[in-house]
């Protein structure tokens, strides 16, 4: 079994941020492995351990993303490909999907499963996985919370809006994973030491044969602004509980429109 996992370096959402004159100011030195992608790596490792498989990583990002890729290798993945992009590149989901699709179309490996995080912490768009599946012509499903593999079929339990759904996908599928599906393992000291010897191929974006002039985002961000303050709710006062309950019912019926 061969499993590929797409991972991404993202800004640390717990780091302080500022919005100044419509620009988002973040600490560029505080970057982390996307939590949803870490769950996808963990799910892939569990499947690989159960079925004597291999887990390969692919990441699109600047040179400093290499450290986060090594972290995922330290978790237990076998090898990785880093598609190196310019530091100032501003890509949206569609561009990431274009680059990843080009990578997989050039690969000789026949992956039974491609896994992604269901979204990235920086934008929460949740679009790249579906776009990638469409470009590759792979059956796919989203928001997986459990994966089971047997007899050439991946059984996916996914979280839907009103409960869980169970979907069977054939070999050659793509699935996006929720961060609710597991608790990603913490790399051991042995794993960290081994990760330094595992293959990590760095491929400049310009060497992939992609016309970079066509890698233009379909969406752009004009500016950022602070979330508007929330209006205070009504305050209902009365000395007697019965009177207060009556006032509350009156408010709900006549003013709240419920």
- Residue 234: is it exposed, middle or buried by C-beta count within 10 angstroms (0-12/13-18/19+)? exposed
For the chain, strand residue ranges (E) read 2-7, 9-11, 17-20, 23-26, 31-33, 54-61, 79-84, 113-117, 140-150, 153-160, 163-170, 173-177, 200-204
Residue 134's pLDDT is 97
Ramachandran angles phi, psi of 27, nearest 5°: -80, 100
Tens of pLDDT, residue by residue over 56-84, are 999 999 999 999 999 999 999 999 999 99
Closest CA to 141 of 151, 126, 152: 126
Please, how many CA atoms are within 13 Å of residue 106, restricted to the half-sphere of its CB?
14
Where are the domain boundaries for CATH 3.40.50.620 in the chain? 2-214
Residue 13's pLDDT is 79
User: Count of CB atoms within 10 A of residue 179's CB?
Assistant: 20
Residues 238, 240, 244: CA angle, nearest 5 degrees:
50
Residue 28's pLDDT is 65
Q: 210 with 98: CB under 8 angstroms? A: yes
The domain 2-214 belongs to what CATH superfamily?
A: HUPs (3.40.50.620)
d(CA 7, CA 219): 21
d(CA 64, CA 28): 10
Mean pLDDT by 10 residues, the chain (258 residues): 96 81 75 95 97 96 94 97 91 94 93 96 91 96 96 95 94 96 95 95 92 82 84 83 87 76
């Amino acid at each position: 079994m061969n499993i590929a996992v797409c991972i991404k370096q993202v800004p640390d959402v717990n780091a302080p941020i500022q919005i100044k004159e419509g620009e988002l100011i973040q600490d560029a030195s505080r970057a982390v492995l996307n939590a949803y992608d870490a769950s996808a790596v963990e799910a892939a490792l569990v499947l690989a351990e159960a079925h004597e498989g291999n887990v390969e990583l692919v990441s699109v990002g600047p040179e400093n993303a290499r450290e986060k890729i090594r972290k995922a290798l330290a978790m237990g993945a076998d090898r990785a490909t880093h598609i190196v992009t310019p530091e100032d590149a501003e890509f949206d989901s569609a561009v990431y999907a274009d680059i990843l699709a080009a990578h997989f179309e050039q690969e000789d490996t026949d992956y039974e499963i491609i896994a992604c995080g269901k979204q990235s912490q920086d934008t929460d768009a949740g679009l790249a996985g579906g776009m990638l599946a469409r470009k590759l012509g792979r059956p796919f499903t989203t928001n997986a919370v459990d994966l089971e593999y047997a007899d050439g079929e991946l059984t996916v339990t996914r979280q839907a809006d009103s409960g869980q759904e169970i979907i069977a996908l054939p070999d050659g599928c793509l699935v996006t994973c929720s961060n609710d599906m597991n608790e990603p393992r913490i790399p051991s000291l042995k794993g960290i030491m081994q990760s330094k010897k595992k293959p990590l191929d760095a491929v400049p974006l310009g060497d992939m044969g992609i016309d970079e002039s066509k890698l233009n985002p379909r969406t752009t961000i004009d500016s950022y602004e602070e979330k508007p303050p929330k209006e205070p709710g009504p305050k209902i006062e009365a000395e007697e509980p019965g009177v207060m309950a009556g006032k509350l019912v009156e408010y709900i019926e006549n003013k709240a429109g419920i």
